[in-house]
Amino acid sequence: MSVLERVETDAIFADIALERELAARRLSARDAALATELAYGTLRWQRYLDWILAPHSRRRLESLDPRVRVILRVTAYQIAFLERVPSFAAVNDAVTLAPRTPGVRAFVNAVLRSFARRDPREREPAPPRDPIDALATRCSFPTWLAERWVGRYGREDAEALMRALNERPPLTLRANTLRITRDALARRLETEEGLAWRPTPLAPEGLVVGPGGAPGEWRAFADGSCAVQDEASMLVARLLAPEPGSTVADVCAAPGTKTTHLAELMGDRGRVLAFDRDPARLTRVREAAARLGITSIDARDGPVEALAPGFCAACDRVLVDAPCSNLGVLRRNPEVKWRRQPSDLLLGSRRQSEILAAAATMVKPGGRLVYATCSLEPEENEAVVRTFLAAHLDFATDPPDTFPLPLDVDGWLRCLPHRHGTDGFAAVRFRRS
Same domain, 311 and 393: yes
> pLDDT tens digit string along 324-371?
999 999 999 999 999 999 999 999 999 999 999 999 999 999 999 999
Identify whether the C-beta of residue 431 lies closer than 8 Å to the C-beta of residue 367: yes
Short-list 421, 403, 423, CA closest to 413 = 403
Output the pLDDT for position 386: 97
Radius of gyration of the chain (CA): 23
Q: What is the CATH number of the domain that holds 263?
A: 3.40.50.150
Return the exposure string of 280-313: e unless at least 16 CB atoms fall within 10 Å of the residue's CB, then b. eebbbbeebbebbbbebbebbbebbeebbeebee
Query: How high is the pLDDT of residue 321?
Result: 98
In a domain, 68, yes or no: yes
Which residues have CB under 8 Å from 360's CB, separation 6+?
318, 369, 388, 392, 395, 432
Pairwise CA distance, residues 295 & 283, whole Å? 15
Do 420 and 284 lie in one domain? The reply is: yes
* 130 part of a folded domain: no
Q: Is residue 300 part of a domain?
A: yes
Mean of the pLDDT values across residues 15-37?
86
pLDDT for res 369:
98
221: Cα within 13 Å, side-chain hemisphere: 13
Instruction: Say if residue 266 is in the same domain as residue 373.
Output: yes
**Of the residues 224, 251, 266, the one at which a domain ends:** 224
Residue 86, pLDDT > 90, answer no
217 and 258, same domain (yes or no) = no
- Give the CA distances from residue 262 to residues 213, 237, 257, in Å, rounded to whole numbers and listed in that order: 28, 6, 9
Pick the closest to residue 389 from 430, 358, 352 (CA basis). Answer: 430
In a domain, 131, yes or no: no
- Given 122, 157, 186, the domain boundary residue is 122
Reported confidence tier of residue 121, pLDDT bands at 50, 70, 90: low
Looking at the fold, whether 177 and 104 belong to one and the same domain comes out as no
Which position among 139, 315, 324, 374 bears the catalytic label?
Answer: 374
Domain that holds residue 220: 173-224
Q: What average pLDDT does this structure show over 384-412?
A: 97
* 84 vs 192 pLDDT, higher one: 192
Residues 149 and 183 in one domain: no
Range 84-106 average pLDDT? 91
Question: Tens digits of per-residue pLDDT, 195-252?
Answer: 999 999 999 999 999 887 789 889 999 999 999 999 999 999 999 999 999 999 999 9
- Per-residue pLDDT band for 422 (boundaries 50, 70, 90) equals very high
Q: Give percent of the chain with pLDDT exceeding 70.
A: 99
Could you give the residue ranges of the DSSP H alpha helices within 293-379? 304-307, 342-360
Number of domains in the chain: 4
Q: pTM to 2 decimals?
A: 0.95
Q: Is the pLDDT score of 17 beyond 80?
A: yes
The answer to whether residue 127 sits within a structural domain is no
The residue among 317 and 127 whose pLDDT is bigger is 317
- Mean per-residue pLDDT, 291-311: 97
Quickly state the pLDDT bin for 123 (edges 50, 70, 90).
Answer: low
Beta-carbon contacts of 425 under 8 Å, excluding residues fewer than 6 positions away, are: 232, 233, 235, 236, 328, 372, 373, 374, 413, 414, 415
The verdict on whether 374 is a catalytic residue reads yes
pLDDT at 180: 98
Residue 322, in any domain of the structure: yes
Please say if the pLDDT value at position 9 is more than 90: no
Looking up residue 80, the CATH number of its domain turns out to be: 1.10.940.10
Q: Is 66 found in the same domain as 34?
A: yes
Judge if 375 and 306 occupy the same domain.
yes
Residues 428 and 280 in one domain: yes
Strand stretches in 162-314, DSSP E: 171-175, 197-199, 206-209, 226-228, 247-250, 271-276, 297-301
Provide the 10 A C-beta neighbour count for residue 432. Answer: 19
Instruction: Read off the pLDDT band of 122 (50, 70, 90).
Output: low
pLDDT in tens, 262-287: 999 999 999 999 999 999 999 999 99
Mean pLDDT across the chain, nearest whole number?
Answer: 95
Contacts of residue 235, Cβ cutoff 8 Å, sequence gap at least 6: 202, 203, 403, 404, 405, 413, 415, 425, 427
